[in-house]
Structure 1
Amino acid sequence: MSPSQLRRFPRRRTSVGASRDFVVHVLKEWQLTDLIDDIELCASELATNALLHGVPPGREFAVRLDLMDDLVRLEVRDSGDGQPKIQHADESSCSGRGLFLVGELAAVWAAFKRPATP
């Protein structure tokens, strides 16, 4: 069975840092320290996106890591009804590059809606 770790975070600013800490802890536990910088950055950007655009007030977002053979899968899930899209921010923008960075660092990047749970 492949290792998997999941943690839920409340809709608070401090949850972005806590999600980074969670990812770093898991990757160290799995002895994948060479992947920490890229996956930590991806987790930070995805958690920030979930917090700012996806998590309704009073709800949480989840961060999950799966290890399958030589592949680490990072999933950040929120309960918002939007669909994230990579934007190309102009040079004067202070934000809007998070998903672009994830797309550049990840071997594969995808966003999809999960079916509603009963």
Structure 2
Amino acid sequence: MNETIQLPYFRTSFYCRDRSSIPVVRKFTRKALIEWECGERAYDVLLCVTELATNALRHGVPSGRGFLVLIYLERTERALRIELHDSGDGEVRAADGWPGMEEGGRGLLLVSALADKWGVAERNPGKIVWCEFNLE
């Protein structure tokens, strides 16, 4: 089931724990970026939302559950925030560097390089992994 709430500068949608959700998350995000005329950093935003959704599927969403994507545009400050809410207890950390990297952590390294801010917040159960982009 994919329910979507649409307010002027706020979008949220729920996705099942399935690999086919990733392109749907990108499409959902792209549509909001187009409607809100946020093309300046669209490629960075789409890459980051893809990485966060992939991490949620691989590490954060227990079997039989899903994850929530929230996108919010603060118009006065032209700041875009992406949040992924999951119910898993996995630890979130970026890899230490590129050379000889082990499996895992590279997606968050990309997010930290492309987004202006990113972080993790607690949720019961689970966590929220978020990133923000300045659009001016």
User: Is 1:87 aligned to residue 95 of structure 2?
Assistant: yes
Higher strand share: 2
Matches within 5 A, 1:1-118: 3-68=9-74, 69=76, 70-88=78-96, 90-93=98-101, 95-96=103-104, 97-116=106-125
Aligned Cα RMSD in Å? Answer: 1.8
Distance 1:8 1:115 in 2: 17
Moved more, 59-68 or 107-116: 107-116
3-state SS in 1 of match to 2:121: coil
- Matched length: 116
Q: Is the 8 A contact 2:11 2:32 kept in 1?
A: yes
3-state SS in 1 of match to 2:15: strand
> What TM-score do the two structures reach when normalised by structure 2?
0.78
| Structure 2 unpaired stretches of 5+ | 1-6, 126-136
C-alpha deviation, 1:17, in angstroms: 1.1
Distance 1:32 1:95 in 2: 33
| Structure 1 unpaired stretches of 5+ | none
Distance 2:108 2:83 in 1: 13
Distance 1:74 1:8 in 2: 14
Higher helix share: 1
C-alpha deviation, 1:81, in angstroms: 1.2
Write out per-residue CA displacement over residues 5-47 of structure 1, whole angstroms, 9 at most, x where no aligned residue: 0011100001111111111011001111122100000000000
Distance 1:11 1:48 in 2: 10
Distance 1:90 1:33 in 2: 28
Q: Is the 8 A contact 1:89 1:95 kept in 2?
A: no
Give the fraction of aligned pairs with identical amino acids, expressed as a percent.
38
Write out per-residue CA displacement over residues 43-84 of structure 1, whole angstroms, 9 at most, x where no aligned residue: 000000000000001111111100113100000111101231
Distance 1:94 1:72 in 2: 31
